[in-house]
Amino acid sequence: MKVLNFGSLNIDYVYPVDHIIIPGETEPAGDVMENCGGKGLNQSIALAKAGVKVYHAGLVGEEGQLLIDKCIENNVDTTYLRKIPGRSGHTIIQVDKNGQNSIILFGGSNRKFTKEYIDEVLSDFEKGDILVLQNEVNLLDHIIDEAYKKGMMIVLNPSPYDSSLEKCDLGKISLFLLNEIEGEQITGKKDPDEILEELVKKFPEAKIVLTLGSEGSIYRHKDEIYRQGIFKVKAVDTTAAGDTFTGYFISSIIDGLSVPEGLEMAAKASSITVTRPGATDSIPLRKEVVQ
């Protein structure tokens, strides 16, 4: 069984600020940091740091060598990564004194996928392999359809939620990992239990993990429900916390852990991530999580 992540890679420009800027305001930033991130890359690195062999497929632009190097440094397989003309995906991230963030996302090379590239990568994968997806790349509907035809197990983090997801056949997803905002955007419900109820009605076969920030997370599959609290820490930067949770929860399935064990490990890993600045570099190794 192989694991493929078809996902974004971003250069994150991070500005520490006193508070997240409001319309019309100008606020000085104390510093600027250039980090490797992107939901796709963060999730691949979380999987790799959890001990999973993961292939990352994605596109970087002319200035994106640092993103490829970051994969190599973290044992993420780069066989399917391609460098193309033009700019890489990048973000402008404000991080306030409580570790909360606000992100402007420029898609760049992440939005230049072609059907030929997708089909070429998928031709090396087969029934039973795991495919990890987020929503920072184009042609997500095509990736889902083609992977489903092959019988791959498709895991989707529908983040950031936008109208392109409405073109996707989400009935083909085996496991959703989403937060309460995305849950509300998909179901129209605000209450976590109602969100889950609605998701189970829409996607009766899917397993669902709903993350609730400081309220922890809930797993639901048909009538089976598990709840997990958070591990309280001093948050410095919440960037990549959700991606860490996703990567570690998927790793727990691959390792054959029970759902409660997987939720607990994912919660521990993401609680460590928020104590550190940055994205890929803030994700802990499995041995730190276990300790």
Q: Is 240 in the site for ligand RIB (CB under 6 A)?
A: yes
Sites for ligand RIB among residues 82-121 (CB under 6 A):
91, 103, 105
Q: How far is the CB of 237 from ligand RIB (least distance, A)?
A: 10
The strand ranges marked E within the chain are 3-6, 10-16, 33-37, 54-60, 81-83, 89-95, 101-106, 130-133, 153-156, 175-179, 207-211, 217-221, 224-228
Nearer to ligand RIB, 183 or 242 (CB): 242
The stretch among 33-41, 113-121, 204-212, 217-225 that binds ligand RIB (CB under 6 A) is 33-41
The stretch among 196-204, 209-217, 240-248, 249-257 that binds ligand RIB (CB under 6 A) is 240-248
The stretch among 31-39, 65-73, 139-147, 216-224 that binds ligand RIB (CB under 6 A) is 31-39
Nearer to ligand RIB, 252 or 280 (CB): 280
Phi and psi of 154, rounded to 5°? Answer: -100, 125
Nearer to ligand RIB, 70 or 220 (CB): 70
From 121, 153, 279, 283, residue interacting with ligand RIB (rule: CB under 6 A): 279
Whether 9 and 38 have beta carbons less than 8 Å apart is answered as yes
Q: Is 38 in the site for ligand RIB (CB under 6 A)?
A: yes
Whether 100 and 20 have beta carbons less than 8 Å apart is answered as yes
Q: Count residues contacting ligand RIB (CB under 6 A)? A: 15
Q: How far is the CA of 241 from the CAs of 89, 93, 166, in angstroms?
A: 20, 14, 26
Whether 283 and 240 have beta carbons less than 8 Å apart is answered as yes
In the beta sheet, which residues pair with residue 4?
55, 131
HSE (side-chain half, CA atoms, 13 Å) at 165:
20
Q: Is 37 in the site for ligand RIB (CB under 6 A)?
A: yes
Sites for ligand RIB among residues 42-61 (CB under 6 A):
42
Closest residue to ligand RIB in the complex (CB): 37
> 184, 271, 243, 261: which is closest to 46 by C-alpha?
243
Q: Is 137 in the site for ligand RIB (CB under 6 A)?
A: no
CA 96 to chain centre: 22
Q: Is 136 in the site for ligand RIB (CB under 6 A)?
A: yes
Q: Could you tell me the two tokens for 283?
A: 């994700």
Q: Which residues bind ligand RIB (CB under 6 A)?
A: 10, 12, 37-39, 42, 91, 103, 105, 136, 239-240, 242-243, 279
